[in-house]
Amino acid sequence: MRALLVVNPMATSTSARTRDVLIHALRSDLKLEVVQTAYRGHAGDLARAAAEDGGVDLVVALGGDGTVNEVVNGLLAHGPSERVPRLAVVPGGSTNVFARALGLPNDPVEATGALLDALAVRRERSIGLGKAFSEGQPDRWFTFTAGLGFDAGVVGRVEEQRRAGRRSTHALYVNQALRHYVTEREHRRNGPVTLQINGQEPVPGLVLSIVSNTSPWTFLGNRPVYPSPSASFETHLDIFGITRMTAFGTARTVRQILRSHTPADGAATASGPAGKHVVSYHDVRHFTLVSEEPAPFQVDGDHLGDRSRVSFTGVRRALRVIV
């Protein structure tokens, strides 16, 4: 099997020595080309070239969720098809939500072993993805989440801290979330975002709007976070929103999010957060988020700037993944 390994050398949880060990292991079973990314968007450029090449069977992303997102967007630059190479992931970031949602070990060495086992028995899975459309901007695929408003603002704050030299940690995210909560006093009570779903009344006043393609939404260390516990790679998209963020109400919702869980075997849905100011929808194929003023926008934990209108579509069986 001819494969391309896209390596993010800045991945937070792997060293140069670990990457060398992983490359050696993968080369034992694959005809492997290895390329390290050199700039933002490079992983996407490499994956797109591999998809257009026609001779690459597999693209392996070694890095965090941002690297995986770039690779997915490169692979699907011309849309889903049987000719698109398969995707495999070796987690190398601080959180690795997508890899863990697929059931892969969070340790890169263990994940490489699982990948080789899956290749040996030709085990793969077709998964659904989300796609975001914003006027004047390139369409963007996402693997596990997108957001417009508060959560994207937190992501933007974290990226600013990382550019200033801070290491990406769960503590950094929590710290910036608390700071953002304090500074966004006006929008905590009067959210600028409206949810529009065809055939339904618009839902205005969203302070926070999280779009999920799978569950969990993220992790705090080893603890999964479930705003939309029924979200799945086999369904369309789930939406979770809050129309007012008071101290008491927000604390209550956070507790619910941490206590929620994915559906048990045989169950169609699982109970998630509920309350007067909670908005929740499951398995929605197409919808739009509109903001009264430009609001922060993120996909897969990557801050993409401010947007006033973003439309979302769930695309089932969009990509084949080695698991």
Give mean pLDDT in consecutive 10-residue pieces for the chain, a chain of 323 residues.
95 88 94 96 98 96 97 98 97 94 95 96 97 95 95 82 74 74 65 95 95 94 91 97 82 80 57 87 98 95 95 98 97
- Both structure tokens of 43: 């992983």
The pLDDT, as a whole number, for residue 23 is 95
Q: What is the pLDDT of residues 122-132, one digit of tens each?
A: 999 999 999 99
Predicted TM-score (pTM) of the model is 0.90
For 312, the enclosing helix (H) or strand (E) is strand 302-322
Residue 181 confidence (pLDDT): 67
pLDDT of residue 164: 76
Q: Give the C-alpha separation, 140 to 62, whole Å.
A: 20
**DSSP per-residue letters across 195-263:** EE-TTS--EEEESEEEEESSS-SEEETTEEE-SSTT--TTS-EEEEEES---HHHHHHHHHHHHH--PP
Residue 223 is predicted with a pLDDT of: 87
SS3 content of the chain, % helix, strand, coil (to 5): 30, 35, 35
CA distance 174 to 154: 9
Asked if 96 and 125 count as a contact pair (C-beta separation under 8 A), the reply is no
